Structure formats: structure tokens, C-alpha cells
A and B are shown apart, each in its own frame.
Chain A
Amino acid sequence: MEKRVTFSRWSIGILFAVPQLILIFTFFYWPAGQAVYWSLTLQQPWGGGNIWVGLDNFRSILSNADYWNSITASLTFAAISTGLAMLIALVIATLTDRQLAGSRLYRVVLIWPYGIAAPALAMAFRFILAPEAGFMAVVNQVWPGFWDPGLDGTDAMASIIVAFSWKYVGYNFIFFLAALQAIPRSLIEAAAMDGSGVIRRFWDIQFPLITPTIFFLLVINITESFQDSFGIVDIMTSGGPANATNLMVYKIYSDGFKGLDYSGAAAQSIILMLLIIVLTIFQFRFIERRVHYR
């Protein structure tokens, strides 16, 4: 039997929940509601209220090639950076789990990048990946014109992917390591006795047993790549060159606050929100369900 505290009057229970409810309402439901309202109206150019336009904002966005370009860029960014951040983290976590020399050090050092604010790390990477000085300048010396994120869209995309992945490798690492350490050592030993080598053991035993963690991180990484990428894009590329790195979240900002198209930006943020909601529901309902063993 599960033990739980029960309140004789429902009002006491509500009272305890009120602080959290106020926070959620103020910082999520209210702004989200406002965004929905703005997305269905058009702002007057010099103030003086909104005009109801129904779904016109959405129609105009979805028929705009720039917006579709932004969606493509966002999905590319999400797929590659998530894959990269998770793969690198998994490799490092697996090595650390095997108690290689220095594993205690990695454990501490690898969480630090996650604590750095996105704009700060973007600034650092802007210098690191600058084509005119430092390491990439040496590469450009050998292959002239190889690297220039200021002119080449692919290079720019690669830069923001590297910066974002660098931050999330540490985050993923901590979760992967915890999941790997939760696997009873005797299972690995039993597999070793059964004749399974290190690589085989990883694929047959460890990997299947950490799938819940993999899917959890997949959801987190993809949703974060839609949101947390803003600071990186803003500092490193400002969406350029030629909109190559104009991710959805950055386009919302530039259309809204630079282009002063509040209504269009609100509609875009509603689309982004729906995208993330659908993605999360899909991953939790259809994938997570299949990967529980205990």
C-alpha cells in the first residue's frame, strides 16, 4: 500500500499548491495566452489596438519561403547537434564507466560547460572558430578559403552546431554516466563470463538497458536545440549569412523585435510551441513506453 497524506478539506490542498500555480500562470499560461491572442490579431502601426484577422498571420507565414527555410535550418540544427552531443557524451560516459585513468576528473570537468550561459560560450566559440586568427586560420593557410562562417552558410551552421553540442555534451554525459552506473556490475561480469567482449557487451547489455535515458535525452536535446540555440545564433551569426542559420527561435526574435512584426512573430512562436508539444507527446507516448524493464 502506498502511504499518502490526505487533507480533510480540499481547500487546504489547494492552498499548498497556490504558490506554484501562481508561478506557472504568470510565467507560462499568461504569456502563452497573450501570444495566441496576438497571433490572431494585427497590431496597428502606430498603436491604438489590435484588429482581429483570424488565421491570416499563419497563412502569410506558411506561404513564406523564408519561414520554410528557417524550419529546415532548425531541423538540420536539431538533428545534427543532438546526434553529435549525445554520441560524444555516450562515448565519454562509457569510457568513464570503465574506470579509465582520470575518470574522476572528467566527471567534474564535463558538467561545467552546461553551467556556461549560451551567449558567453558563443562569444568564446566565435573567437575559437574565427577564420582570420587562431586554429582555423592555420587551416585556411593550408587550404585557402576552406573556412569562413561569415560567407559560407554551411560553415556558419557548423559553427553553431559545434558550440551548442559542446554545451550539451556535459549535460548528456552526466545522465549517461548515471544510467551506466545503475546497471548492476554483475550483469557486465556475467556477459564477460558468457564470452562477450567489451564492444559486444556494450551493444548487447549496456545499450538496451540505457534506452530509457537515451530517449529522455533525445527529447531534452531536441527541445533545447529549438530554444537554447538563441543566444548562440545571436552572438555567432545573427542568423546569417543569407539566413543560413536563421533558426525558428531566432527568426521569431528578429521578425518581432527588429522587424517589429509582433503578430507574425507571435504566430511563429505558437507554431514552435505546437511543434515542441507534439514532439514531446510523440516521444513519451510511443517510444518511452517500449523501453522499460523494471
Chain B
Amino acid sequence: MASITIRDVYKSYAKMQVVHGVNLDITSGEFVVILGPSGCGKSTLLRMIAGLEEISGGTIAIDGAIVNRLEPRERGCAMVFQNYALYPHMSVAQNIGYSLKVAGVPTAERTQRIQAVARILELEQLLDRKPMALSGGQRQRVAMGRAMIREPKVFLFDEPLSNLDAKLRVQMRSEIRKLHRRLSATSVFVTHDQVEAMTLADRLVVMNGGRVEQVGTPSEIYSRPASRFVATFVGAPAMNMLEGEVTLDGLSLLGGSRRLAVSRAGLPVGTKVAVGIRPEAVRLVAPGTPGALNATVDLVEELGAGRVVYVDLDGAAFSVMTSEAVHPAPGSAVGLQFSEADLHFFSSETGSRLDVFKASVPVPAL
């Protein structure tokens, strides 16, 4: 068990800087998920913690000791790779036991520990097989076993589930979660899959363009996104965004066709803002209901338990998630209703969250 402290870490390749000054504190035993689109620097950050990538600037400390100059093996981390990276010429047992062999652990003890790990991961029947004779899920478990057997201070996961099919992914997800509860080792898990991130994380780190956008519990990230990027990246379908502008008496939306009466809270008139609302916070009502917005249905996506209704709101695309048994026909008119407490405001310029509007209840209908 160990804490990880990341201070002003940046990474640049020849001319390009890919990670720009990341600060992050991971407490001992925590399960942290780094979430972001591909190319956001999340894997690079993980590999810098592991020691596989040189740190261009800043410091990374594990348990208070700065590890910048240490070789991967001296850092006490174990890593599960995206493509599993199993040694193809070794059996499952040899793969799992390789680190112990390198460390010079006697054969008897090694066998015993391999057995113990294999029992936890239900790999006992497969110990003599070569990796190429295993299925994707089994390979994944061997990769986990190889990381577990070292009893590392820190577990690092580099998109370990992205090569599995959907069903297996859900299963491995809960196995990883159970494993963490059992070992309670500090874990850093990198993924671009938000469902994986939300379900696994004690704390979620959302990254974009080499910067940390927000750090928080999954529910914090979902309910109070710190930036427009986080708001639209987390949650499926993505949060609806309406462009607006601060006016004397509130906000004008959709090029002036709608108004939102909120106090300006000191923002100069003409400031561009974005108003966000989650599809699941919008209710479908009969068209013409007082206080509701009128829109036209474009498309309905059936999800079984619910459906996503895509509507056209004065030319802007807008989605609504509903669990009610309504099936509006494409082209028909619907009313949209939502509570002002569910609105999120972001600066159009910087993308950061504007909480100044929050104080300005009540918000009458648009």
C-alpha cells in the first residue's frame, strides 16, 4: 500500500508537449481511474508512474520518495497491459511466476505462490498452457495474476479491458473491483470507457489534451462537471449544450429565440455562455404544456429499459432520455420540461464552470 504524489509533471517528445503540468494526490489503497479520450496523455501519465516513460519535468513520489530516477523494478509497481503482454514462450505458471524467478525466490515457494494466485483467479487448470492456447478472458486473468503475485505497492492498469468483448468486460470489471477490495492495494486504472470509469473508481480523474480537467468521485463528476469538456464527455448520451449570451435581464439562448431569466451576477453583458442539461433530466410532456419548450422529434433510439429521443429545438440538436413508455413518431411535436436546478453553466470562452448563475433562482420557463 502506498500513496502516489504527482507534482507539476509534464512530458514532451522531441517538439511536442503531451502532458502539461499534472498535479494529483492518490491516497493509499485508493482506486483511481484516469478517464479521457484517446491522445489525452492518460496512458503517458500512467507509464511515467510505472517508469516506462521518462518524466520530462516535475516529480512523482511513491510513499513520499521521489521515483523519477528509479528503474521500473525499483518502484514497486505492477502493471496490466492493454494487450496483456504475456510471454508467448512461457506457460501460464511461468508467466505468473516470472517476477519471482527474477527475484530469486526458491522454486518451492514460487510454486506455492503461483498456486495461491491461480486459485484466486481460477486458473489452476490452465497453468501448463501457453498463452496462445487461452481465450481473451483467460489471458486477461493471467496478466492480472502476473501483477498480483508480486504483492506490489501499486497496481497500474493500462486499458486492460478494451480488448475483451462486451459481456466479458462487465464480468472482468466486477472481478477487478472485488480483487481491489480483497487486496486494497493502491490502483491506478486508465480507460476511455466512461462506464468502466464510473463503476470502478473511488475517485475519477478526467483528462483532456494533456491536462487534468477534474478530479472527484464519480457522482461529483457527473453532477457537478467542472468544465464543458467533462460535462459532455461523461454521461451517455452526452449532455445537451445550448449556446447563449448574457443580456441585461438574464440570458438569451439559441440566437435570441429563447430567454432565461437569471441574474447576471456581475458578468458583463455580451459574455458568451453555454447552458447544459443532461438528457435524463429532461421530461417529455404534451406539446403546448405551460412552461414547456416545444420541439420536433427527429429520431427515437430504443434501449429496452428506456429510449433516447432526439429532437430539434429551434435548429439545435437536443436529446432526451426517458424510461416512460412513450414512442413519439419522428416529425411529431413534443414539449420539453426540466427543473432549473438541473442546469449547468459554462463559459463559452474558457469552458470552465460558472456557478454564479446558481444563486439566481428562480428560473422561469425559457
In the complex, the answer to whether B85 meets A194 with C-beta atoms within 8 Å is no
Tell me whether A192 and B71 are in contact (CB under 8 A).
Answer: yes
CA A191 to CA B98, docked complex, whole Å = 8
Q: Is the CB of B71 within 8 A of A293?
A: no
Compute how far the CA of A111 lies from the CA of B126 in the bound complex, rounded to whole angstroms. Answer: 45
The answer to whether A196 touches B102 (Cβ under 8 A) is: yes
Indicate if the CB atoms of B85 and A294 lie closer than 8 Å: no
A190, B89: Cβ atoms closer than 8 Å = no
Of the candidates B82, B89, B102, B130, the one whose C-beta lies within 8 Å of that of A194 is: B102
In the complex, A153→B130 CA distance in Å? 51
A29 to chain B minimum Cβ distance, whole angstroms, is 40
Question: Do residues A192 and B52 form an inter-chain contact, with CB atoms below 8 A?
Answer: yes
- Residue with the greatest number of chain A CB neighbours at <10 A, chosen from B78, B82, B87, B130: B87
Q: Does B4 contact A (CB under 8 A)?
A: no
Assess the A184–B85 pair: CB atoms within 8 A. Answer: yes
The distance from the CB of A104 to the nearest CB of chain B, in whole angstroms, is 14
Contacts of A177-205 to chain B: CB distance below 8 A: 184, 186-187, 189-197, 200, 204-205
User: Known: A200-B102, A204-B98, A293-B132. Is A193-B72 also a contact (CB below 8 A)?
Assistant: yes
* Cross-chain contact of A192 among B73, B132, B150 (Cβ < 8 A): B73
Tell me if A32 is interfacial: C-beta within 8 Å of chain B: no
Determine if B50 is an interface residue (Cβ-Cβ < 8 Å): yes
User: Does A209 touch B at the CB level, under 8 Å?
Assistant: yes
Asked whether any CB of chain A lies closer than 8 Å to the CB of B77, the reply is yes
B81 within 8 Å of A (CB atoms): yes
Contact status of A195 and B77, CB under 8 A, knowing A186-B83, A208-B89, A293-B89: no
* Set of chain B residues within 8 Å of A193, measured between Cβ atoms: 50, 52, 72-73, 77-79, 99
Query: In the bound complex, do residue A209 and residue B88 qualify as a contact, i.e. CB atoms below 8 Å apart?
Result: yes
In the assembled complex, which residues on chain A have CB atoms less than 8 Å from the CB atom of B150? 194-195
List 7 additional contacts besides A190-B87, A192-B71, A193-B52; criterion CB under 8 Å: A187-B88, A191-B87, A196-B73, A196-B102, A200-B102, A209-B88, A293-B132
Contact bitstring B80-122, A, C-beta under 8 A = 1, else 0: 0111011111000000001100110000000000000000000
Question: On chain B, which size bracket covers the interface?
Answer: 20 to 34
Residues 140 to 192 of chain A near chain B (Cβ within 8 Å): 184, 186-187, 189-192
Output the least CB separation between B72 and chain A (Å). 5
User: Nearest CB to that of A209 among chain B residues?
Assistant: B89
CB pair B99 A194 closer than 8 Å: yes
* Consensus secondary structure, chain A interface: helix
Contact between B52 and A189 (Cβ–Cβ < 8 Å)?
yes
B146 is an interface residue with CB less than 8 A from chain A: yes
Task: Let me know if B87 and A205 touch, CB within 8 A.
Answer: yes
Measured in the bound complex, the distance between the Cα atoms of B78 and A22 in whole Å is 60
Bound together, the chains give a CA A197 to CA B73 distance in angstroms of 8
In the complex, A209→B90 CA distance in Å? 10
Q: Are A184 and B73 in contact (CB under 8 A)?
A: no
Residues of A within 8 A of B102 (CB): 194-196, 200, 204
Kindly provide the distance from the CB of B129 to the nearest chain A CB, expressed in whole angstroms: 13
Would B85 and A187 count as touching, CB distance under 8 A?
Answer: yes
Distance in Å from the Cβ of B332 to the closest Cβ of chain A?
A: 49
Q: Count chain A CB atoms within 10 A of each CB in B50, B82, B85, B103 and give the residue with the most.
A: B85
In the complex, chain A residues whose CB is within 8 Å of the CB of B50: 189, 193
B81 engages A186 (CB within 8 Å): yes
- Rounded to whole angstroms, the CA-CA distance of A191 and B95 in the bound complex is 10
Q: Of all chain B residues, which has the CB nearest A293? A: B88
| A30: min CB distance to chain B, Å | 45
Give the distance in Å from the alpha carbon of A293 to the alpha carbon of B85 in the complex.
14
Residues of A in contact (CB 8 Å), total: 19
Q: Show 23 A/B contacts (Cβ-Cβ < 8 Å), sorted by A.
A: A184-B85, A186-B81, A189-B79, A189-B85, A191-B87, A191-B98, A192-B71, A193-B52, A193-B73, A193-B79, A194-B73, A194-B102, A195-B73, A196-B73, A196-B99, A200-B102, A204-B87, A204-B102, A208-B89, A293-B88, A293-B130, A293-B132, A294-B88
**In contact, A195 and B99 (Cβ under 8 angstroms):** yes
Q: Which residues of A contact B89 (CB under 8 A)?
A: 208-209, 293
Chain B residues closer than 8 Å to A209, beta-carbon distance = 88-89
Which residues of the partner chain B approach A190 to less than 8 Å between Cβ atoms? 79, 81, 85-87, 146
- Residues of chain B lying within 8 A (CB to CB) of residue A196: 73, 98-99, 102
Q: Cβ of B86: which chain A residues have Cβ within 8 Å of it?
A: 190
Residues of B within 8 A of A200 (CB): 102
Give the chain B neighbours of A186 by CB distance below 8 A: 81-83, 85
Closest partner residue, chain B, to A190 (CB atom): B85
Report the nearest A residue to B99, measured CB to CB: A194
Whether B146 pairs with A194 at a CB distance below 8 angstroms is: yes
A186 CB to nearest chain B CB (Å): 4
CB B89 to nearest CB in A, in angstroms, measures 5
Contacts of A205 in B (CB 8 A): 87
With a CB–CB cut-off of 8 A, which chain B residues contact A192? 51-52, 71-73
A293 and B150 CA atoms in complex are apart in Å by 26
Closest chain A residue to B50, Cβ basis: A193
> For the complex, what is the distance from the CA of A93 to the CA of B79, rounded to whole Å?
28
Contacts of A187 in B (CB 8 A): 85, 87-88
Alpha-carbon distance A293/B99, docked complex (angstroms): 21
Could you say which residues of chain B place their CB within 8 Å of the CB of A294?
88, 132
Output the residue of A189, A193, A197 with the most chain B CB within 10 A: A193
Q: Looking across the interface, which residue of chain B has its beta carbon closest to that of A189?
A: B52
The 8 closest A-B pairs by CB, nearest first: A194-B99, A186-B85, A195-B73, A190-B85, A293-B88, A208-B89, A195-B102, A192-B72
- Give the distance in Å from the alpha carbon of A105 to the alpha carbon of B362 in the complex: 71
Name which of A186, A187, A191, A194 has the most chain B CB atoms within 10 A of its CB.
Answer: A194
Assembled-state Cα–Cα distance A229/B71 (Å): 46
A274 to chain B, nearest CB (A): 35
- Expressed in whole angstroms, the Cα–Cα distance for A161 and B102 within the complex equals 38
Q: How far is the CA of A67 from the CA of B196 in the complex (A)?
A: 74
Proximity string of chain B (47-62) to chain A, C-beta cutoff 8 Å, 1 when within and 0 when not: 0001110000000000
